[in-house]
């Protein structure tokens, strides 16, 4: 009888029924390192949110927007993206606008990135309202696709800033 119990205990090994280890909760695997939770839970296709709202009240009052010419046809892509979004009325004349969107869009062939800085300022006073900085890799994708993605990133960051300003 004792021999059977010893054989059974040997087969079951440590941690078998009746041991103190059964009372422990199973250990959780260590958490993987992250860069922190994304707002909304899901990662963004447009990179980190690097925009800054300088004047939330003025941003909410912007109805008409004039887009200045920006390198790499970014201004054309921004006009298309903003027209589809419908939040701002785009104007052909600077004098008809409440605010002016201007910026730069430089591509670095050596670094294979597009560096974009966008600024929205009050048309009359020139005071800053909103700004965004985006670094978009390319090659692949081609430069045109990277600039297009940048335009949608600017639009998304601006719309997020408008929603945040409305909540305040």
Q: What is the domain count for the chain?
A: 1
Rounded to whole angstroms, how far apart are CA atoms 130 and 65?
13
What CATH number did the domain enclosing 89 receive?
Answer: 3.40.50.10070
Name the residue range of residue 126's domain: 52-167
**Is 123 a domain residue?**
yes
**Is 124 a domain residue?**
yes
For the record, the structure tokens of 2 come out as: 């004792």
Quick: pLDDT tens for 73-87.
Answer: 999 999 999 999 999
Res 43: pLDDT: 41
User: What's this model's pTM, rounded to 2 decimal places?
Assistant: 0.69
The angle subtended at Cα 58 by Cα 56 and Cα 59, nearest 5°, is 60
DSSP 8-state class, residue 101: E
**Is 22 a domain residue?**
no
The set of residues, in sequence order, having a beta carbon less than 8 Å from that of 61 and lying 6+ positions away, is: 98
**Is 3 a domain residue?**
no
């Amino acid at each position: 009888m004792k021999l059977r119990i010893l054989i059974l205990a040997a087969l079951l090994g440590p941690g078998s029924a009746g041991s103190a280890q059964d009372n422990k909760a199973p250990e959780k695997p260590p958490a993987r390192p992250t860069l922190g939770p994304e707002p909304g839970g899901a990662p963004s296709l447009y990179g980190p949110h690097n925009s800054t709202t300088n004047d939330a009240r003025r941003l909410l009052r912007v109805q008409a927007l004039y887009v200045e010419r920006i390198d790499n046809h970014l201004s054309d892509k921004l006009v298309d993206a903003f027209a589809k979004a419908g939040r701002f009325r785009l104007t052909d004349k600077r004098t008809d606008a409440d605010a002016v969107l201007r910026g730069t869009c430089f591509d670095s062939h050596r670094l294979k990135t597009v560096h974009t800085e966008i600024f929205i300022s009050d048309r009359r006073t020139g005071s800053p309202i909103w700004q965004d900085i985006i670094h978009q890799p390319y090659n692949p994708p081609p430069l045109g696709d990277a600039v297009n993605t940048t335009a949608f990133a600017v639009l998304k960051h601006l719309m997020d800033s408008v929603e945040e300003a409305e909540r305040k």
